[in-house]
Structure 1
Amino acid sequence: MQRKQASDFDQKVLDLYDEFAHGRMNRRDYVKHLRTFAVGGLTIEALVSSLSPNYAWAEQVKADDPRIRTETIGYESPKGGGTINGLLARPAEGNKFPAVLVIHENRGLNPYIADVTRRLATDGFLAFAPDALTPLGGYPGNDDDGRAMQAKRDGEEMTQDFIAAAKWLDASKFSTGKLGVVGFCFGGGMVNQLAVRIPDLVDAAVPFYGRQPDPADVPKIKAPLLIHNAGLDQRILAGAPAFEAALKENGKSFEAFVYEGVNHGFHNDTTP
């Protein structure tokens, strides 16, 4: 299938996909509303397919890339889901590296997040991406089922899973003791939570279009933040002014970027 860009679609179509992808619309209603835009020889099946993830587009670094070493490991999350599995990637040469915890979207450790983890390893980082779906059997192989599974997990338990992951990664024999966290969508919100919940552990935080923490919790943050938001993402942008005002009032180090004309999820290169 030829890859389409966001500009190839009516913005209302992209908004419908966003509603569906974030669990605010079921698949039946999603397809029903999309039918309005299946015109001019475009079938509804083709339209749905063109909006769905194509994991081949995300693969920039193959699993067997000689520049890196990868392995699946399990770590203990006693206050969360028990033993949680994840992908660990590091440069092939060297002994210790700055560490980055990679936090997935609302659908588990899919091929896109796995590739992001490998990309970080090629840039010299020790990168670790836990799969919050581990207690339910792990990422199921497609995002639709992954979203449904993640919605069944308790939010605080998942937070504890990522706190435990941060502690495990920071203590790794391959880590220099410097820890950054990066996340996307659900993961972006989790990055903000970790900056609040474990401020003495997080050295840098990079949330992509993530839900902001309560402004009252901002004084707890110690890490500098690099915030990325989409100009068309009104849902997330609605909380940005209060968050950024609280960061300024409390003298926190941060940079915030809004990319005009792009939608929520723009870093995910498996979709338009």
Structure 2
Amino acid sequence: MMSSACIASILFGITCLLCELNSSLAFSSRASSSIITSWSSSVAHIIEHIVSPPPLQVTPLNELTNTRIPGPDGVDILAYTATNNNGDGKNTIILLHEFFGLNPSIVEKAELLAKDLGCTVIAPDTFRGTVTDFVPKAIWLALTTPQERVNDDLDAVCRFLGCNTDSAKKLAVVGFCYGGGKAIRYTTRGKHDAATVVFYGSPVTDVNELQRLNAPVCGIFGNQDAQFSSSLLDNFQSSLNDAGVDNDIRVYSGVGHAFWKDVSQIERRDQPQTDAYNQCTTFLREFFSSSTMRVDDTIKEAGATSSTTIKSRFLDSLDRPYDLNQGSKERTGLLNDLIQNGDSIQQPGSLESFMPVAPGRWRVIYAPHMTTMSGLAGGEFSVQYDLNDDGTIVSHAKCNFPFYKGFLSVSGSFGSVNNEVCRVDFDEAWIKASNHENDEPYPNIQSVPDSILKSLIRNLGKAAFIEPFAVFPISFLDSETIVFDFELLGTRICARKE
């Protein structure tokens, strides 16, 4: 059950390797171009920080913070809390630091926002005890801090604040740079009713992800930021519009990354820092004073559409009930409706939730990125996988491409990361070339005849099994249907049990 996203990604990775072995140089060229572009952006971002470093003051966290929050794994989360005694205690901001860690600049911004908005602002340490003013170390901290851990820590902060139990409390998540990217990935994956403010953080442009949001998004960027192209920022705004999310995305001229460095810029009324700050506070005031419920949530609370009907609408839209279907805007919309309003098993990533329904054969029925990629390669494939009650998994993809016809297979084990996230670890891979329609794959690695090709495929498969191909949040789960978030490509995969 848990492996549909993992299987699809790994199988496509192996398919790409086979493409390269068969001299499909066009794919290699595109991949190389993408990698070069990504690295060029990262290098430019690093240079920008080195050339124009922020005026940082590194202070030990035990001296800087004033709050200890019980963490998800028994380790306290240190935070700084700023309050305004004139507020009603209902409006709260979680403020996420940049990749240098929690420092006095963030504390000063927390105090300013609390004073101007009359709310509580809490700035947690997401690096769990580490701060720095050394750019390479900051980059390392950002790269090695997983979103899942940040989400768990922010969930703990929300419990501490009472956001989960008091429906009158309104929450906004505001982040700078690294923190801006973490902020929108927290609200899209868990806190759908929280507003999001992204100060020059990595955008989310997948409409499927953004459609989860029930609250508006504010984005603040500089037009000279080497990290984010104008086309990416345009895509961010258009994706929010397509997802039906209210937004205020602005790009300020003449400034690059991290252009709001400290509170003194606001006190001096520097531009465009003051305009950007006013954009943020105006956005938050409007959010805190407004109703944020979206139409589909109103329908859900009113009970106007039953979960069975929602699921049936999606399944009825498919041309093939137990095979891979072409992606379409209509089907994606129906799948999103199922995720948002369907009757999913609670805590779908936990062993207690998925093990009762996991054993059996599952088939991938909807994965738009898979059909798009296979179409570009001039063929198609279908994916099935067998889950056993001992935690083992075997998957087979039947391929029909000009460069390869037959089966790609993997095997391994599956398990749980936390209540919302599953994991699949594959340790074997093999193939069976075949032109026969009714042929069957080799059931396991032991049944594959020994050869140099067998050894080569095993090694290629092991090389492809990297961390992004292993961990997947579950958006929906019931006894016969599962939807995974395939975060590596910013899309989803739906599978159905036979």
**C-alpha displacement of 1:76:** 2.8
Q: Are 2:256 and 1:263 equivalent residues in the alignment?
A: yes
For 1:241, which of 228, 231, 234 is the aligned residue?
A: 234
Match of 2:197, SS state, is strand
For 1:78, which of 72, 78, 98 is the aligned residue?
A: 72
Match of 1:53 in 2: 54
C-alpha distance in structure 2 between counterparts of 1:152 and 1:21, whole Å: 21
Bigger-Rg structure (1/2): 2
Task: Tell me if structure 2 keeps the 8 A contact 1:98–1:175.
Answer: no
Residue deviations 1:88-116, cap 9 Å, x none? 11014455241111011112101111111
Match of 2:339 in 1: none
Amino acid at match of 1:217: E
For 1:181, which of 173, 191, 212 is the aligned residue?
A: 173
C-alpha distance in structure 2 between counterparts of 1:241 and 1:222, whole Å: 21
Amino acid at match of 2:181: G
For 2:201, which of 194, 210, 217 is the aligned residue?
A: 210
- CA 166–207 in structure 1, closer or farther in 2 if over 3 Å, else same: farther
Task: Tell me if structure 1 keeps the 8 A contact 2:192–2:212.
Answer: no
Match of 1:102 in 2: 95
Q: Are 2:197 and 1:198 equivalent residues in the alignment?
A: no
C-alpha distance in structure 2 between counterparts of 1:177 and 1:240, whole Å: 31
Match of 2:126 in 1: 132
Taking structure 1 as the reference length, what is the TM-score of the superposition?
0.67
Task: Tell me if structure 1 keeps the 8 A contact 2:142–2:178.
Answer: no
C-alpha distance in structure 2 between counterparts of 1:213 and 1:228, whole Å: 14
C-alpha distance in structure 1 between counterparts of 2:202 and 2:253, whole Å: 19
Residue deviations 1:227-264, cap 9 Å, x none? 11111114223422222222111221111111011111
- CA 127–19 in structure 1, closer or farther in 2 if over 3 Å, else same: same
Amino acid at match of 1:205: T
Match of 1:33 in 2: none
Task: Tell me if structure 1 keeps the 8 A contact 2:198–2:220.
Answer: yes
For 1:223, which of 210, 215, 227 is the aligned residue?
A: 215
Task: Tell me if structure 2 keeps the 8 A contact 1:53–1:271.
Answer: no
Q: Are 2:121 and 1:120 equivalent residues in the alignment?
A: no
Taking structure 2 as the reference length, what is the TM-score of the superposition?
0.38
C-alpha distance in structure 2 between counterparts of 1:139 and 1:235, whole Å: 22
Task: Tell me if structure 2 keeps the 8 A contact 1:225–1:253.
Answer: yes
Task: Tell me if structure 1 keeps the 8 A contact 2:215–2:246.
Answer: yes
C-alpha distance in structure 1 between counterparts of 2:110 and 2:164, whole Å: 16
- CA 233–55 in structure 1, closer or farther in 2 if over 3 Å, else same: closer
Task: Tell me if structure 2 keeps the 8 A contact 1:105–1:186.
Answer: yes
- CA 244–181 in structure 1, closer or farther in 2 if over 3 Å, else same: same
**C-alpha displacement of 1:183:** 0.7
- CA 154–173 in structure 1, closer or farther in 2 if over 3 Å, else same: closer
**Percent of aligned pairs with the same amino acid:** 27
- CA 53–71 in structure 1, closer or farther in 2 if over 3 Å, else same: closer
C-alpha distance in structure 1 between counterparts of 2:167 and 2:55, whole Å: 33
Residue deviations 1:51-71, cap 9 Å, x none? 443358xxxxxxxxxxxxx96
**C-alpha displacement of 1:121:** 1.9
Match of 1:235, SS state, is coil
What stretches of structure 2 of length at least 5 have no aligned partner?
1-41, 58-63, 266-498
Task: Tell me if structure 2 keeps the 8 A contact 1:99–1:127.
Answer: yes
